[in-house]
Each structure stands twice: as structure tokens, then as C-alpha cells.
Amino acid sequence: MGVKPLNDKVLIKRVDAPEKTKGGIIIPDTASEKPQEGEVVAVGKGRVLENGSTRALDVKKGDRVLFGKYGGTEISFKGDDYVILDESEILAIVE
């Protein structure tokens, strides 16, 4: 991959936003919101606790997750856009 999150950070690739509504209306790029759903691409080793031990993350590579609209930091790497956020910013795993 080339990007390895640290500690309790998670690297997510957003799912593609729908290009038209169910009724067939085309949504221009300027009017569409960024999706709040994505696929976990990479995870860090886990949260470091006060006693020095590490707690493994609940999410793993390949999970589909929901996250907050303004959460994380957007990055671009090799032409692809990703979001890096703390595991605590993930709201749910989509099954």
C-alpha cells in the first residue's frame, strides 16, 4: 500500500458517491456531498494504554464502516483520496 497508520489510526477509502438519484436526476460534482461510508484499507497496531500494553482495534482491513461527516484528515496518495481517522471516530461497521 505505501501508507501505514500508526497506533489507533485507520486509513479509509471512501465509497463512490451516487451520480444520480433514484428518480434519475443527475447530481453534479459540485452539489454532491462526500459519502460518509468507506472501506478500511489499513489499520495501525492498536491503542497504547497507560500501562504500556496495546489494545487491538475492533476494525480490520476490508471492513465497510460509517464515519462522521467532518471526522479525520483527508489525504491524497498516488492519485487516490483517503481519510485517516482515529478508531473512536468510526461510528459503525456495515455488515
Please check whether residue 36 lies inside any domain of the structure: yes
Which is more confident, 14 or 29? 14
Please check whether residue 61 lies inside any domain of the structure: yes
Query: Can you point out the beta strands (E) in 1-95?
Result: 9-14, 37-43, 47-48, 54-55, 64-67, 73-77, 80-86, 90-94
Which domain does 69 fall in, by range? 9-94
Please check whether residue 3 lies inside any domain of the structure: no
Report how many domains make up the chain. 1
Note the pLDDT of residue 85.
Answer: 93
CATH of the domain at 76: 2.30.33.40
**Has residue 10 got a pLDDT over 90?**
yes
Please check whether residue 2 lies inside any domain of the structure: no
Residue 11 confidence class, pLDDT cut points 50, 70, 90: very high
Please check whether residue 1 lies inside any domain of the structure: no
Please check whether residue 48 lies inside any domain of the structure: yes
What is the pTM (predicted TM-score) of this model?
A: 0.78
Q: What is the pLDDT of residues 22-33, one digit of tens each?
A: 676 666 655 555
Mean pLDDT of 19-47: 74
